[in-house]
Structure 1
Amino acid sequence: MTTETRPTTGPAARSRQVAALRPGYLADLADGTDRFFEPRRADCPWCGSTALRRRLRTTDLLQHKPGRFGLDACGGCGHVFQNPRLNGAGLEFYYRDFYDGLGEQRLAGLFGTRAAVYRGRARAAAPYASAPGRWLDVGTGHGHFCETARADFPDTVFDGLDLSEGVELAEHSGRLARGFRGSFPELAAGPSSELAGRYDVVSMFHYLEHSTDPGRELAAAREALRPGGLLLIEVPDPRCRYARLLGRWWLPWLQPQHLNLVPAANLSERLGELGFTVLTEQHREPHDPVDLLAACWLLLDAVAPREDAPWLPGAPPGRLRRALRGACFLAGSPVLLLAALLDRLVAPVAGRAGLSNAYRLVARRGA
């Protein structure tokens, strides 16, 4: 059950929005969360090996929606994947009000402040494509990357693709020349597709980990690119040492949204099978120095009283609970500041120390 509610501003408006959404969420949860999952699989979705081990068990640490989630690691190829995986109904439930609806304003504000990160991603293409004609950003969200990248590539036409309505808002606001809403493999399929062979660059920044079948997404990128076109991919690195040091508090696990975390060697090999040549593999440049800060914030958020949310039963938090929540974060602010400082100090050596939380590949499509 889905209730569409446009984002509003202010605490009172948010409370009304939460109240309007609550009946729908509680109806969805009336029969529990088991119906949101596929059967548990016994083999690796990347290589087929049955040598699996439990990597992580956690809850939704960001929205605090009900449910428990597991990640398994393949002993054969190192692929990490959600097992059992969310089905279509589960993906709809757990994504709802995260990027759109109730969460749209908060996330749009966050993504709109990451211009330096977006410039670094865009410039990764510059040594290999100084003036691309058309660029498709897959998983573009509200199109903030394309808006920023236009400063470095003023003659490039930027299109975006996403499952959420944010891509339509991005086209309407002028961040994108065209906004395509839907599944990339479906929209790129077949020679008559509007996307087929149209692009000089296709980018997938922190997109593949959300997909149910990364291999299909890579094949779709090949279809959308012209011969000789560039594919830019950036994803969390499951081999990052922070993943073990911080356990379930490592932000890039991002359960239940991240379904597949692919090691760089696996991704390079699959790209080769699809006719791509990997031009560069970067670990230092895509590292986002937030691991310790995010872990401390998630811990504080876990112990603090909950904010009001439509999927949580009971009465909305009163003045006392809101005050206690504020007091928890105020008391933890010195720890948050120290963690942020340590993140910055580690950042210059993160790549060499195996602490980079992401990697980036730039690959060229063959003829």
Structure 2
Amino acid sequence: MTEPLKNDDRAAAVAALRPRYAADLARGTGRFFEPRRADCPWCGSDRLEERLRTTDLMQHKPGDFRLDRCRECGHVFQNPRLSGEGLEFYYRDFYDGLGEKDMAGLFAGRPKTYLRRAEALRPFAKAPGKWLDVGTGHGHFCEAARAVFPGTLFDGLDLSAGVELAERAGRVTRGIRGSFVEQAAELAGGYDVVSMFHYLEHSTDPREELRAARRALRPGGHLLIDVPDPESRFSRLLGRWWLPWLQPQHLHFVPVANLRKELTGLGFTVVAEEHARPHDPVDLLGAVWLLLNAIAPPEDQPWLARPPGRARRLLRTAIVLAGVPALLATAALDHFLIRPLAGRRHLSNAYRVVARRD
């Protein structure tokens, strides 16, 4: 596991980044958003309703974000959506840069989750030759999945520098950095499996990503998709504190019926749909953490005008420590109460689809 930045090193890194963020924010945040849409990007209906308004509850970068829901097809999407400049600004120092080491440690600590994802393919493909994991991050899924499919070659694709680190660390056979849609022609027909685990919700055009997956797959190959479930009861019960909303990074939330129909139209056969196993038991815990993070003064970040003073740092520490009992209690509820029920009553926060390219 990668060691997190020490306090002095982090303070120096934050100070070095502050002038760039100050220059970005001096121009305002308006250019970070495209014009607002009047219709649904999935079905074209103009029957839209506001689903959610929130801020960046994770990093506390400036900006206000809105999700709309289509009353015709149920698609939920960010509206107005981030522009290219906005995507660069809000992703910067989250998965790479300042946040790279912390995120690498977080992803490395989930081997059981990765094994369950790989095992979802076992009933349909015993020994795939080549597997492409799209949105692979630091390649930890590929590393874990070799225990399930030891003869399979795993490649990873991602926009961030993490995929290059994954190749150097040997977690993937080949690390491909770039856009999947733009790389699809080069990758055409090269894979027996394509996986997209919590990737589609980040994409600007999920349909283009699905077409790219079809192109990359050989006939008879399989596509695995995990995404947040916008029909989860917790998405309404917890509102802006539901962790899978993850604004402003998540741009699209596709109901499972819409995804099945789209895959069928592209020439796939959906061979499995799961709701219980993809569930991540973090709904209540995540809500409490986001609330504490919103109440407490933010830790020093380069997009803040100046570092927080000692009093504000102590106040943040006191609030987080006071919240520890609530964090422990909600973690227990997530694991021992909610998780066993996740496959029923729309309590799961995610779903999985396995589809075969015909």
TM-score, length of structure 1 as denominator length: 0.96
SS at match of 1:29: helix
Q: Which moved more, 1:324-333 or 1:20-29?
A: 324-333
Q: 1:185, CA displacement in angstroms?
A: 0.8
Q: Does residue 58 of structure 1 match 2:54?
A: yes
Q: Does residue 90 of structure 1 match 2:86?
A: yes
Paired amino acid for 1:296: V
Q: What aligned pairs does 1:21-100 form with structure 2 within 5 A after superposition?
A: 21-100=17-96
- Output the CA distance in 2 between the equivalents of 1:349 and 1:161: 34
Q: What aligned pairs does 1:1-367 form with structure 2 within 5 A after superposition?
A: 9-189=5-185, 193=186, 195-314=187-306, 316-344=307-335, 345-366=337-358
Deviations 1:17-37 (A, max 9, x none): 000000000100102111110
- Output the CA distance in 2 between the equivalents of 1:208 and 1:306: 30
Change (3 A) 1:8 1:334: closer
Q: What stretches of structure 1 move > 4 A for 4+ residues in a row?
A: none
Deviations 1:172-211 (A, max 9, x none): 110000011111011013xxx1x11010000000000000
Q: 1:8, CA displacement in angstroms?
A: 7.2
**Residue identity (%):** 70
Paired amino acid for 1:339: T
Change (3 A) 1:355 1:248: same
Unaligned runs of 5+ residues in structure 2 are none
SS at match of 1:354: coil
Q: 1:329, CA displacement in angstroms?
A: 1.1
SS at match of 1:160: strand
- Output the CA distance in 2 between the equivalents of 1:55 and 1:318: 37
- Matched positions, count: 355
Paired amino acid for 2:284: L
Deviations 1:70-115 (A, max 9, x none): 0000011000000000010000000000000000111110000000
- Output the CA distance in 2 between the equivalents of 1:50 and 1:320: 50
SS at match of 1:203: strand
- Output the CA distance in 2 between the equivalents of 1:156 and 1:8: 32
- Output the CA distance in 1 between the equivalents of 2:311 and 2:68: 41
- Output the CA distance in 1 between the equivalents of 2:308 and 2:71: 45
TM-score, length of structure 2 as denominator length: 0.98
